Structure 1
Amino acid sequence: MFDVVSLKHQLAGGNGSNNNNNNNNDDNNDDNNETVIGPNESATLFADFRKGSSSAFYASDGWSNGSCFDCVWRGSNAVFKDNALNLTIDKDTSGQYNYSGAEYRTNDFYGYGYYETSMKAIKNNGVVSSFFTYTGPSDNNPWDEIDIEILGKDTTKVQFNYYTNGVGNHEYFYDLGFDASEGFHTYGFDWQPDHITWYVDGEAVYTANSNIPSTAGRIMMNVWPGTGVDDWLNAYDGKTPLTAQYQWVTYDNK
């Protein structure tokens, strides 16, 4: 069973190493319109960012995550142009942080089903481009997370990972056979009670079947520079702006 943080059931409309806690999000926004899509509900989501923003999502703004993030989230770094959602790493002009990153997340929480995006990643040492589900203490839930992460140091590979009640160490690197920064490709995962299977361009490439997470989470994408994790990401050289692009996101639990 999924943990329920809201009793409303309205479907949202839509026009790597053991120190990798990159998506352990501290959300300072209290969203009173949150919905959990339960395991027995039929639900689909299609957010076509080629046509602009989606009411199912919002941009994180004004807070930062853990110590390995060398940035603050800025809503202004999530922009719709060139037929895509553009998430950008840039200098932070507030003087409080070295850099600003970008994150786009759903209002609602989604459980078992198939998740997919079409994206083009950033190629640069020290940065991450991601697509994932997350929930945790900031949602009054256990930390459950399923990750697709492309490390800018080597965009010919993708890292898969997941956390169940805060326990991770399930990293797996898959050799893509192409450069993820040079064009759009689809990345997805099928999350079921007894397994997670990850997909690249519609092909199943890896399956995990041990200690699978069970708590519904938000669908999220973010880009960020790391600090203190050079062994994982390589050192960030401070180059800005750096932009990843996302064409669309889909979810289906049928």
Structure 2
Amino acid sequence: MRAFRSAIGSLPWLVLTVSRFANADCECGYSVNKTSDAHFGLFTELQENDFLHHKGDNVTKFGWRPQEFNVSKGDSTNPYGKDFELHNLELNPLKDAQSWSGESENGGDAGLKLWVRGDHSHGYVSSAELASVRSDVLYGSVRVGMKLGQTGTCGAFFYFFNNSQEIDMEFLSREFNNSQGAVNLVLQSPETAITHDAVNSSTYHVQHLDFRPDRGFHEYRFDWTPNRVAFFIDGEFVYDMTENIPSVGGHLQMNHWSNGNPLWSGGPPNEDTPMTISYVKAYFNSSETAPHETYKERCPTLDPAKVCQIPDQSKAPNGNDAKTYFFSQDGPGKTPGQETFTLTSKASNSLAPSLPLSISVIVALFGWALL
């Protein structure tokens, strides 16, 4: 792992001219526009989930492992403990597998629901958490379509290795007013792991939003590279951080919880309330050796024409805009060597990315560290 991180840090930036970029398959990976139209990072791995159409009662087969544990309330600042339970996870797809909006099988919003329960008479608030099966996510562009809970909860989507290597996007429903909301952006550090006080650190930022996150789906995204984490809302860059950047492979996680702490989660709610996920899209590099060997087999020599650009979600994914692009739905050439999951019964995807026939980009060759 140390050799991998050192190689990552020493990689040069390479100027490339890409021809017929839009029509290429993706043997050599995926690139993402960061904050400038001229700069791209190269990522070799992919995981996509379309929870508007995932069926069943086993989220692990879709690449996510339920977390079951409890946390005592600790001191008097937390009126309740937290109890993360399997039954609070619900796959609730659309009734019509051919559509991208409409009625869901179990009522309410379609998607993966993480419930916080209203009955906390036993001293714990029943909550939900998931972690990606893959624990080797090291740098990447990660996006989630999400609608938050409505009262007295904390909903979060984040990368996690340990308490000092963590990238958080956390939503507190108590911070939502009549028409606006906020998201707490945090990079944890060795100092915050000791003090448990990220709010007063240099890598904490409250990003105010001109909408309420509990009244519709929006895309929340972070692009993580060795020297920077950039945050986006509905495809628009909003903030970045350059300190305390995580440098080891870990999990992606999401949770929805409350312990009644008035300084953070607030609540707890007096009725069951869900946080709903419509999709997750993760394009990343691996901290493990085996994926790099697989990558070398499909891309022995870097061919920029076989690097696919990840399209941005420039609108809130609601209604007619809920249909978003998935490489996994665009044929096996778009996901060579990748483990993919069933999206819908449709074989085509009309939202394929397009670019001019020739475009100059700067590619960070993170994926080539162990080649």
The TM-score with structure 1 as length reference comes to: 0.74
Asked whether 1:108 is paired with 2:145, we answer no
What is the Cα deviation at residue 231 of structure 1?
A: 2.5
What is the Cα deviation at residue 93 of structure 1?
A: 8.1
Corresponding residue for residue 216 of structure 1: 249
Corresponding residue for residue 78 of structure 1: 89
Corresponding residue for residue 36 of structure 2: none
Partner SS state of residue 63, structure 1: strand
What is the Cα deviation at residue 166 of structure 1?
A: 5.6
> 1:139-185 CA distances to partner (integer Å, 9 max, x unpaired)?
xxx73110011101123111110113463422211111111100000
Counting matched residue pairs gives 211
What is the Cα deviation at residue 65 of structure 1?
A: 7.4
C-alpha distance in structure 1 between counterparts of 2:228 and 2:132, whole Å: 23
Partner SS state of residue 210, structure 1: coil
Of structures 1 and 2, the one with the larger relative CO (CA 8 A, separation 6+) is 2
C-alpha distance in structure 2 between counterparts of 1:199 and 1:2, whole Å: 30
Counterpart selection for 1:231 from 259, 263, 268: 263
C-alpha RMSD of matched pairs (Å): 2.7
Q: Which runs of 5+ in 2 are unaligned?
A: 5-41, 93-103, 105-109, 193-197, 285-366
Q: Does the 8 A contact of 2:226 with 2:245 survive in 1?
A: yes
Q: Does the 8 A contact of 1:91 with 1:98 survive in 2?
A: no
Q: Could you say if the C-alpha distance between residues 2 and 65 of structure 1 is closer, same or farther in structure 2, counting changes exceeding 3 Å? A: farther
Partner SS state of residue 80, structure 1: strand
Q: Could you say if the C-alpha distance between residues 73 and 233 of structure 1 is closer, same or farther in structure 2, counting changes exceeding 3 Å? A: closer
Q: Which runs of 5+ in 1 are unaligned?
A: 5-39, 137-141
Within 5 A, what are the aligned runs for 1:94-243?
95=122, 97-109=123-135, 110-125=137-152, 127-136=153-162, 143-155=164-176, 156-165=181-190, 167=192, 168=198, 169=201, 170-227=203-260, 229-234=261-266, 236-243=267-274
Q: Does the 8 A contact of 2:142 with 2:281 survive in 1?
A: yes
Identity over aligned pairs, percent: 23
Partner SS state of residue 76, structure 1: helix
C-alpha distance in structure 2 between counterparts of 1:3 and 1:123, whole Å: 45
Partner SS state of residue 276, structure 2: strand
Q: Does the 8 A contact of 1:90 with 1:100 survive in 2?
A: yes
The TM-score with structure 2 as length reference comes to: 0.52
Q: Which piece of structure 1 moves more, 208-217 or 239-248?
A: 208-217
Partner SS state of residue 210, structure 2: coil
> 1:93-125 CA distances to partner (integer Å, 9 max, x unpaired)?
894x42210011111121101011000001213
Q: Does the 8 A contact of 1:144 with 1:166 survive in 2?
A: no
Partner SS state of residue 112, structure 1: strand
The structure with the largest helix share of the pair is 2
Q: Please identify the structure whose Cα radius of gyration is greater.
A: 2
C-alpha distance in structure 1 between counterparts of 2:248 and 2:51, whole Å: 27
Corresponding residue for residue 49 of structure 1: 51
Q: Does the 8 A contact of 1:2 with 1:111 survive in 2?
A: no
Residue identity opposite 1:72 in structure 2: D
